[in-house]
């Protein structure tokens, strides 16, 4: 049982992607009767992220992203959605957030669902390169598609051979681009999977006409007649109309760190997703949480983790005793192959139509 009086305050969530949106609706299901206010710097109605490196790039007819919830759903559930607004700071003592324009919003409970941003490597000349994109937002997808300009033969260099880089490579190859993947390590997916799986995906891309080159450390980019010259430390050069940066992410911990919350490979939370401040929770990619199945702290960049943590946070905020104990898993779609991974290191891949 829980005390209804505790469920009539103001719950503010910073971040309105998978974690923040699922938290808001879960709060209503759990019985939160007070205000629910979401803030997000992205001006778009919150949308599904996984298809951005896949179908959003390959669908020629519909470039619009799919919303997580309709605008009417927020209204029906009395959830206030504030888009295109950045939060500048958190005042834990006064229990308020300060927005970029100087205005403030008080809270009884605060949830940080602030995720991560693309890691941009230090490469000489990168700032002057043409048509350079990470892939984190709908605006990035639109930029990549516009740069293709309906000309399928354009040359694309993807810097980074992780899951996102390989998914983008597969998607752009499908629409007819010439794609080269440059990976600094000696094999793709080196930090996250076994050599056998790296070899499988290397051959998969090779068979589909993508050049996957390992041991390639990009050191500089030169521009000649609007064409990028991507230069590696071994003096090799690759021409590119479009450059995609896919070397990883940087966790958004700055707000939490300035607020005095405990930071350790992300925002450290307990088994109910509470931070070191009892009135502040954190969920999603930005959290460093304990997983009881492996008896260790981990940080996951996973939609499923974001959704599961959102449910736990909502229940805890509403006074229920809950523990986050999900088994981590995620997937990757490349061509007609779906890779499914559980952190218990059980691996499975299959034809997409059979999975």
Q: What is the pLDDT of residue 5?
A: 60
The band of 63, judged by pLDDT with boundaries at 50, 70 and 90, is low
Same domain, 124 and 205: yes
CB 234 within 8 A of CB 141: no
**Domains held by the chain: number:** 2
Question: Does residue 330 lie within any of the structural domains?
Answer: no
Give dist(CA 128, CA 238) in Å, integer.
Answer: 16
Q: What is the pLDDT of residue 1?
A: 36
Q: What is the pLDDT of residue 354?
A: 35
| Mean pLDDT of the 245-273 span | 96
Same domain, 151 and 257: no
Q: What is the pLDDT of residue 6?
A: 67
The band of 343, judged by pLDDT with boundaries at 50, 70 and 90, is low
Q: What is the pLDDT of residue 345?
A: 35
Flag whether pLDDT at 170 surpasses 80.
yes
Nearest to 15 by CA among 140, 168, 119, 137: 137
pTM: 0.90
In this predicted model, which residue has the larger pLDDT, 69 or 334?
Answer: 69
DSSP 157-176: EEE--SHHHHHHHHHHHHTT
Same domain, 88 and 185: no
Give dist(CA 306, CA 304) in Å, integer.
Answer: 5
Q: How many CB atoms lie within 10 A of CB 241?
A: 20
Residue at a domain's end among 207, 232, 249: 249
Token reading at 300: 């996951």
Using DSSP, state whether 34 is helix, strand or coil: coil
pLDDT tens digit string along 316-333?
A: 999 999 999 887 776 677
Residue with tokens 């006074």: 319
Same domain, 133 and 223: yes
Same domain, 54 and 134: no
Question: Does residue 146 lie within any of the structural domains?
Answer: yes
Partnered with residue 329 across adjacent β-strands are 342
* CATH code: domain of residue 241: 3.50.50.60
Q: Which domain holds residue 33?
A: 4-115+252-324
pLDDT tens digit string along 309-318?
A: 999 999 999 9
User: If you average pLDDT over every residue of the chain, what do you get?
Assistant: 90
Same domain, 107 and 185: no
Q: What is the pLDDT of residue 353?
A: 35
Residues in the chain: 355
Flag whether pLDDT at 151 surpasses 80.
no
Do β-strands 347-351 and 337-342 pair in parallel, antiparallel, or remain unpaired?
antiparallel
Same domain, 137 and 238: yes
**84-98, 208-222, 296-310: least confident range:** 296-310
- E strand or H helix at 317: helix 303-317
In this predicted model, which residue has the larger pLDDT, 7 or 47?
Answer: 47
The band of 340, judged by pLDDT with boundaries at 50, 70 and 90, is low
User: Quick one: how many helices (H) and strands (E) in the chain?
Assistant: 8, 24
């Amino acid at each position: 049982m829980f005390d209804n009086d505790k469920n009539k305050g103001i719950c503010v969530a910073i971040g309105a992607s998978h974690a923040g949106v699922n938290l808001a609706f879960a709060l209503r299901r759990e019985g939160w009767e007070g205000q629910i206010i979401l803030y997000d710097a992205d001006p778009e109605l919150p949308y599904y992220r996984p298809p951005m490196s896949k179908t959003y790039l390959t669908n020629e007819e519909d470039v619009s992203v799919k919303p997580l919830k309709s605008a009417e759903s927020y209204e029906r559930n009395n959830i206030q959605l504030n888009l295109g607004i950045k939060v500048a700071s958190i005042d834990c003592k006064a229990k308020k957030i300060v927005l970029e324009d100087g205005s403030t919003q008080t809270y009884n409970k605060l949830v940080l669902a602030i995720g991560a941003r693309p890691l941009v490597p230090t490469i000489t000349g990168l700032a002057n390169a043409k048509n350079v994109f990470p892939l984190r937002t709908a605006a990035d997808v639109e930029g990549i598609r516009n740069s293709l300009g309906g000309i399928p033969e354009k040359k694309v260099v993807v810097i980074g051979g992780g899951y996102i880089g390989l998914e983008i490579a597969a998607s752009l190859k499908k629409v007819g681009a010439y794609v080269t993947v440059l990976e600094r390590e000696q094999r793709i997916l080196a930090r996250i999977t076994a050599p056998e799986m790296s070899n499988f995906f290397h051959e998969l891309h090779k068979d589909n006409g993508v050049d996957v080159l390992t041991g390639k450390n990009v050191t500089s980019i030169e521009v000649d007649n609007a064409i990028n010259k991507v230069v590696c430390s071994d003096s090799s050069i690759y021409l590119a109309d479009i450059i995609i940066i896919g070397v990883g992410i940087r966790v958004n911990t700055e707000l939490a760190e300035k607020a005095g919350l405990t930071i350790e490979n992300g925002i450290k939370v307990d088994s109910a997703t509470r931070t070191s401040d009892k009135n502040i929770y954190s969920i999603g990619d930005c959290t460093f949480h304990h997983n009881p199945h492996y008896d260790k702290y981990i940080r996951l960049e996973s939609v499923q983790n974001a959704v599961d943590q959102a449910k736990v946070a909502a229940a805890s905020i509403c006074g229920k005793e809950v523990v986050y104990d999900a088994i981590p898993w995620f997937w990757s779609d490349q061509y007609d192959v779906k890779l499914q991974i559980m952190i218990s290191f059980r691996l499975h891949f299959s034809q997409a139509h059979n999975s």
